[in-house]
Amino acid sequence: MTQWNQQARDRAARLEAARPYARGKYVAAADTVALLQAVLRPGDRLCLEGDNQKQADFLARALVQVDPEKVHDLHIVQSGITLPEHLELFEAGIARKLDFCYSGPQGGAIARALEKGRVEVGAIHTYPELFARYFIDLTPKVALIVARQADRQGNLYMGPNTEDTSTIVEATAFKDGIVVAQVNEVVDTLPRVDLVADQVDFIVESPEPFYIEPLFTRDPASITETQILMGMMAIKGIYAPYGVRTLNHGVGFPTAAIELLLPTYGERLGLKGKIVTHWMLNPHPTLIPAVESGWVRQVFSPGAEVGMDDYVSARPDVFFVGHDGSQRSNRMLAHNAGLYACDMFIGSTLQMDLEGNSSTVRTDRIAGFGGAPNLGSDARGRRHPSDSWLKAGREQAGTDGRMPRGRKLVVQIVETFGEKQAPTFVEQLDSVALARKLKLDLPPIMVYGDDVTHIVTEEGIANLLMCRDLDEREQAIRGVAGYTEVGRGRDPKAVEALRQRGVIRRPQDLDINPLDATRQMLAARSIKDLVTWSGGLYAPPARFRNW
Amino acid sequence: MTQWNQQARDRAARLEAARPYARGKYVAAADTVALLQAVLRPGDRLCLEGDNQKQADFLARALVQVDPEKVHDLHIVQSGITLPEHLELFEAGIARKLDFCYSGPQGGAIARALEKGRVEVGAIHTYPELFARYFIDLTPKVALIVARQADRQGNLYMGPNTEDTSTIVEATAFKDGIVVAQVNEVVDTLPRVDLVADQVDFIVESPEPFYIEPLFTRDPASITETQILMGMMAIKGIYAPYGVRTLNHGVGFPTAAIELLLPTYGERLGLKGKIVTHWMLNPHPTLIPAVESGWVRQVFSPGAEVGMDDYVSARPDVFFVGHDGSQRSNRMLAHNAGLYACDMFIGSTLQMDLEGNSSTVRTDRIAGFGGAPNLGSDARGRRHPSDSWLKAGREQAGTDGRMPRGRKLVVQIVETFGEKQAPTFVEQLDSVALARKLKLDLPPIMVYGDDVTHIVTEEGIANLLMCRDLDEREQAIRGVAGYTEVGRGRDPKAVEALRQRGVIRRPQDLDINPLDATRQMLAARSIKDLVTWSGGLYAPPARFRNW
C-alpha cells in the first residue's frame, strides 16, 4: 500500500535525531553544528537564508563545519550567494548544486568554482522566479533562516528585515521540511510577530547580531556630472513625457542621481505630484530629499536598508510600517508589485549588445541578476491601464493594426564606458562565450533587448519602442554608444534619420545644456547632507561616515 | 511642519469610534453594522474578501445595511465579485468604484450596473496584478476578511482556505488600515495560527459558517466524447512531445477530461513519470485518479476545494499541508508559481478572434479573467531552462538569428461551438464593441493571441508558435475552427500547406482514431467514482451527489 506521508515520517526521524541538542525549540550556539548534522541528509535541498541584504551568517559558519562524510551534495536554493562561507560549502563538498539569483561580492568566486567543477549551477534566477520554484520543483527540505528576536514560545520578529523569510518558510514548513532560525536575542515579548512559532522548529541565539549589507546606499559625493546629465535627460526625456507615477529604481549611481535631482531639477520642470508618486523600492538614503520635499506618496520595499530604520519608522505615511512602529518588507510581494503595478523600471548593466540584450555576467564574474529580469520585463498579464503604459503601448504597436495593448517602460541607464574604461556596448556579450564554454542551454541574459524600451547614455536617449526592425534598433543603440567601438561603427545617416524621427534624442534636442549638469544640481551632495535632510533620523553605517 | 503619521492618527480615530461596539477585539454579530459605520469613511478603499472560493458573506450582508448617508462612494478592490451583496453595494450607492479580477455568477449583474452607470470599473485584473496594486496604488484602507476560527488572543485559523487573506492583510495592516474578520467560531486553541492577532483589529463570530463556492468541481458524468477527443489530442500532441512536467490546468471540462485520461490513455502511451509531475492547481476532484495512480508528485494550490479537505490532509506527500494536518493555500504565491515555475497553462475561453485574442467578456456579461491573463502569459523574466520551455522557444525563434530564449506553452482548449451553439471563433470579439460603448482605454482581453502557443479543438491542434506571420496565424486558427463561419472562411490550400508543415495537426496526423474517444477512456465517469478512487476521503457537496 502506498505511503502518503513519507515526508512527515522523514521529518519526525530528523527531529528525533536532533533532540539531544535542543531543549524544546532552543539550541545552544555551541550545539549548532551537531544540530545541523542531525537534521541534514546528503542531497537535501537547502535554503541557507542569504539574500542581497540580511544573512544567516552564524548558521552559514556552522554549516561549513559539518562533517562532509555525513552531510554532502546539498542542493543550495537561495536568493543570494554573498558570503565566503556560501562558496566554502562547495569547496568542501558539503554542497554540490546551486540555484540562486544574486551574487555580489562572490561573483568571481562562483566563476572560479564553476571553472574547477566544484559547483554545478542549475540556473541564475530572478527573485520571484526562484520563489516560484520553491512551491513547484525546488521546495527546500531544510531552511536555515535569520530573525532579530524570538520569544519563549518560538515566535520570531524580523522587523524591517522580513525580506525573503516568510516565503522561504511557507514553502518549507508546509511541505514537512525543517526550519532552523538564528536570532540575535531571545526576549519575553516581541514588538510584533512576523513568523509564528508553529512554523519554526529550532532556534539558536547567535553570539553576534546577523550581518546586513547596505546594498542600496550610494554616497552622493561619488555622483559624477556625467551621471547628473544622464539623470536630467531621463527626467525630462522619459519621466515627464510618459508621466511615470509608479516605478522601481535599480541600484546604481545614475538612478541615485535621479532621486537627488527630483527636488531641484524636477521641481524646476514643474513635475512635482505628476511623476514618481508611488514606488517599489528599498529605502534608498538618496530618496530622503524627495520624500522630505513631498514628491513621494508611498513606498513598498523588498527589504530594509542599514541605517534607515528610524527614518522609515518616522515616516509611516510613506512607508509600510507595522503597529509596533517598524518597517515591514517582503521581497516576494515587492517584486510582484514591481512586475505588475509599476509603469517603469530603470537600472544599469555592465554590457549591452547590438540588439539591446544586457548582462552582468562575465567570464570571470558570475554576478547574478537579482530582480532585474523580473522588473525589467513587460508583464504580459497586466490589464489595468495608466497613461504611461498606454502611451508606451501605442508607440510600440505602431501601425500594424493589431489589438492594442499597453507596455511597461524598461530603461537601461548606462555610461558608454564603465569600470576601468571597459566599453558598455559590445558586439557580443561575454555571457555568450561563457555559455559556450560551460555548455549552458542559453546565454545568461539579464534583460533581453526585446524587453528594453529606452537606453540612456551621456550621448542621448534611444527609444527602442519606435524602432521598426532590428537594423533600426542596432543603429539606435550605436547612436547613443559614444566613442565605444560600437558607437564609432554607426551609420551616421541612419542615426541622423533616427534623430529626425525622435527615436534618438540628444541633450540639445531636450533643451538640456550639458554645462548645467553640475553637482550643484543635487539636492544632497554627501552622506552628511542626507543625514541633515532626514533631521538626524538617518544613521549611515560607519564606512559611509567621513566626519 | 509636515505630519508624517496622518494615517496612524486616522486609524486611531476610527478605532476609538468603534470602541462602543467592541470588547477588546471582539464584536457581537448584532453590532456588526454599527462597527462598520464606525470604521468606514466615504471614499474609502475597501477589500471585502471574496474571491472565487471563500466569501466574507456575513460581513457582506452587514455592509449592505450601513447607512448610505454615512458610508458612500467606497472603492471596492477585491479579487471576486461573486455574491449578490457585492452588487447591492453599488445599487445602494455605498460603493461607486470597482477594481476586481473575477465575477462568476455576477457577470451579468455587473454588465447591467455598468449600463446603468451605477458602477465605475477601474480595471479587470488578473489576481497577482490586483495584489500588486495593493502595495502600490490601491492599498486598502479597510479589509473585511474571513477565517474559520479565532482564539481568545485574536489569532486566526484559515486552514485549507488561506487563499487571498494573508496578502490582503499584509497590505492593509502595515499601512495603518483596519482589519475586521468574520470567523465561524472562537476557540481556546487553534489548530495552527495562519494570521497573528497583531494584524487583526476586530473579530465577529458569524451566526453561520462562511460560504465557499466549489468552483473547481467538475462532474465526470458531464464530460462529452468531443472533450475526450480533445483531451487525447492534447496529451499526445502537446504534453508528450514537449515533455510538460510543471503546469497549471484551468477550470473546465476539457481539462477535467485530460486529468481523467492520464491513468488510462496516458498510461497506455507510457507517459507516467515523464509528464505532469508538478502542479500549481486547486485540488481538483478530477485529479484524484491521477494522484492515486502515482502520476502526481507535488501540488501547490491557490485555494482549497469544497469536499477535498480530508483527501488533501491524507496525501501530505503530494499537497502542501501544515503540521496540524490541514492544507495550506495561498493565491498570491500560487499564481506567482504558475507564472514563473510552470511550463504550461491550458485553459478555455468563450470567444477567440482571428489573431488568437480571447476573452470571456461579452456585452451582457462581464465575467472577469481570474488567473488566466497571468497564467496564460509568457514570463519574460524567467531564466531557468526546462526541455519543454527550450523546445517551445526554439520553435518560436525560428531562424531569425536572435538571442535564443525559452517560451512558456499557453494552450487554449475549446470546442468550436460553445454554450447554446454560440461559435467560439469570431471575426471580432464582443469585448471590442463593449470597449467602444463604455469608452474603455483598451478592449478587455483575457489572453492575447501573441501569448497563445497552441489551440486545441475537436478538429485539431494549431501550433501558433510555428506561424511566421499574422496571415499564417489566421489560417491556422481558421483551420481548426470547424464549421463556424470563421472555420468555413478558411483558405483550403493555405490550411493544407500548414498541415503539411505540422502547424496544424488533425487527429489522424496524431494517429488518434476519433472512434476511440469514448467515455470508457475516463478513469472516473461519475462523482461517485471519484469518491471510490479517494477511498471515501473525498466528500462531494450535496449538489454533486445523486446517490
* DSSP-derived secondary structure for A13-25: HHHHHHGGGEETT
With an 8 Å Cβ cutoff, are A322 and B369 in contact? no
**Half-sphere exposure (CA, 13 Å, Cβ side) for B532?**
7
Closest by Cα among A119, A76, A120 to A100: A76
What CATH number does domain A344-514 carry, 3.40.50, 3.40.1080, 1.20.120, 3.30.70? Answer: 3.40.1080
Domain residue extents for chain A: 23-205, 214-225+242-342, 344-514
SS3 content of chain B, % helix, strand, coil (to 5): 40, 20, 40
User: Rounded CA gap, B264 and B262, in Å?
Assistant: 5
Of A136, A198, A280, the CB nearest to B246: A136
Give the mutation candidate from A125, A167, A333 for the B interface (greatest B CB count, under 10 A): A333
Window B:272-291, CB contacts with A under 8 Å: 278-280
User: Rounded CA gap, B530 and B507, in Å?
Assistant: 29
Q: What are the tens digits of pLDDT across the range A109-140?
A: 999 998 899 999 999 999 999 999 999 999 99
Task: Specify whether the CB–CB gap between A156 and A192 falls below 8 A.
Answer: no
Residues in A closer than 8 angstroms to B384, CB to CB, are 99, 122-123, 125, 129, 133
Residue positions counted in chain B? 547
User: Rounded CA gap, A404 and B286, in Å?
Assistant: 38
- Which parts of chain B sit beneath pLDDT 50? 399
Task: Specify whether the CB–CB gap between A284 and A256 falls below 8 A.
Answer: yes
Using a cut of 0.90, tell me whether the model's pTM lies above it. Answer: yes
Q: Residue A117 region, left (φ>0) first, then alpha (ψ -120 to 50), else beta?
A: left
Task: Specify whether the CB–CB gap between B356 and B464 falls below 8 A.
Answer: yes
Shortest Cα distance from B531 to chain A (angstroms)? Answer: 18
A162 has a pLDDT exceeding 50: yes
A445 has a pLDDT exceeding 50: yes
Enclosing H/E stretch for B34:
helix B32-39
Residues in B closer than 8 angstroms to A341, CB to CB, are 129, 132-133, 135-138
With an 8 Å Cβ cutoff, are A379 and B129 in contact? yes
The reply to whether B406 touches chain A by the CB within 8 Å rule is yes
The pLDDT of residue A399 is 44
With an 8 Å Cβ cutoff, are A445 and B294 in contact? no
Q: What are the tens digits of pLDDT across the range A167-203?
A: 999 999 999 999 999 999 999 999 999 999 999 999 9
With an 8 Å Cβ cutoff, are A124 and B441 in contact? no
**How many other β-carbons are positioned within 10 Å of the β-carbon of residue B225?**
16
Confidence check on the interface: ipTM exceeds 0.95, yes or no: yes
Q: What percent of chain A has pLDDT over 90?
A: 91
The reply to whether B492 touches chain A by the CB within 8 Å rule is no
Residues in A closer than 8 angstroms to B438, CB to CB, are none
The pLDDT of residue B172 is 98
Instruction: Tell me the pLDDT band of A546, cut-offs 50, 70 and 90.
Output: confident
Residues in A closer than 8 angstroms to B193, CB to CB, are 196, 198
Residue of A nearest to B387 (CA): A441
With an 8 Å Cβ cutoff, are A129 and B402 in contact? no
The reply to whether B381 touches chain A by the CB within 8 Å rule is yes
Residue of A nearest to B330 (CA): A170
Give the mutation candidate from B136, B296, B361, B431 for the A interface (greatest A CB count, under 10 A): B136
User: Rounded CA gap, B335 and B388, in Å?
Assistant: 20
Residues in B closer than 8 angstroms to A390, CB to CB, are 441-442
Window B:84-143, CB contacts with A under 8 Å: 99, 122-126, 128-129, 131-133, 135-139
Residues in B closer than 8 angstroms to A5, CB to CB, are 316-317
Can you read off the three cell numbers belonging to residue B210?
462562511
The pLDDT of residue A89 is 97
With an 8 Å Cβ cutoff, are A129 and B340 in contact? yes
With an 8 Å Cβ cutoff, are A129 and B328 in contact? no
Enclosing H/E stretch for A143:
strand A142-150
Residue of A nearest to B318 (CA): A4
Which regions of A277-395 does DSSP assign to beta strands (E)? 278-280, 298-300, 344-347, 351-352, 358-359, 361-362, 365-366
Shortest Cα distance from B443 to chain A (angstroms)? Answer: 8
The pLDDT of residue B223 is 98
Q: How many CB pairs below 8 A link A and B?
A: 271
What CATH number does domain A23-205 carry, 3.30.300.30, 3.40.50.300, 3.20.20.100, 3.40.1080.10? Answer: 3.40.1080.10
User: Rounded CA gap, B280 and B265, in Å?
Assistant: 22
A361 has a pLDDT exceeding 90: no
DSSP B544: G
Enclosing H/E stretch for B410:
strand B409-413
User: Rounded CA gap, B230 and B517, in Å?
Assistant: 9
DSSP track, A410-465: EEEE--SB-GGG-BSB-SS-HHHHHHHHHT-SS---SB-GGG--EEEETTEEEEGG
User: Rounded CA gap, A170 and B320, in Å?
Assistant: 9
Shortest Cα distance from B387 to chain A (angstroms)? Answer: 10
H helix intervals, A156-299: 165-173, 225-234, 240-242, 253-261, 267-268, 288-292
Residues in B closer than 8 angstroms to A338, CB to CB, are 132
The reply to whether A325 touches chain B by the CB within 8 Å rule is no
- Contact residues for A469 (Cβ-Cβ < 8 A; gap 6+): none
Window A:245-274, CB contacts with B under 8 Å: 245-246
Give the mutation candidate from B190, B318, B333, B402 for the A interface (greatest A CB count, under 10 A): B333
Average pLDDT over residues A75-85: 95
DSSP A210: P
User: Rounded CA gap, B100 and B368, in Å?
Assistant: 8
The pLDDT of residue B420 is 87
Task: Specify whether the CB–CB gap between B331 and B52 falls below 8 A.
Answer: no
With an 8 Å Cβ cutoff, are B137 and A174 in contact? no
Residues facing A246 on adjacent strands? A278
Task: Specify whether the CB–CB gap between B199 and B339 falls below 8 A.
Answer: no
Can you read off the three cell numbers belonging to residue A72?
554532502
Can you read off the three cell numbers belonging to residue A196?
509564528
The pLDDT of residue A363 is 82
Of A8, A316, A340, the CB nearest to B8: A316
CA B304-B310-B314 angle, to 5 degrees, is 110
Q: In whole numbers, what is the pLDDT of chain A averaged over residues?
A: 96
Can you read off the three cell numbers belonging to residue B418?
460553445
Residue A47 in 3-state DSSP?
A: strand
Give the mutation candidate from B317, B342, B434, B534 for the A interface (greatest A CB count, under 10 A): B317
CA A129-A131-A136 angle, to 5 degrees, is 90
User: Rounded CA gap, B378 and B453, in Å?
Assistant: 10
With an 8 Å Cβ cutoff, are A341 and B443 in contact? no
The pLDDT of residue B399 is 43
Q: Do domains B23-205 and B344-514 have the same CATH topology?
A: yes
Residue A127 in 3-state DSSP?
A: helix
Residue A403: C-alpha distances to residues A395, B353, B444 (Å): 13, 10, 10
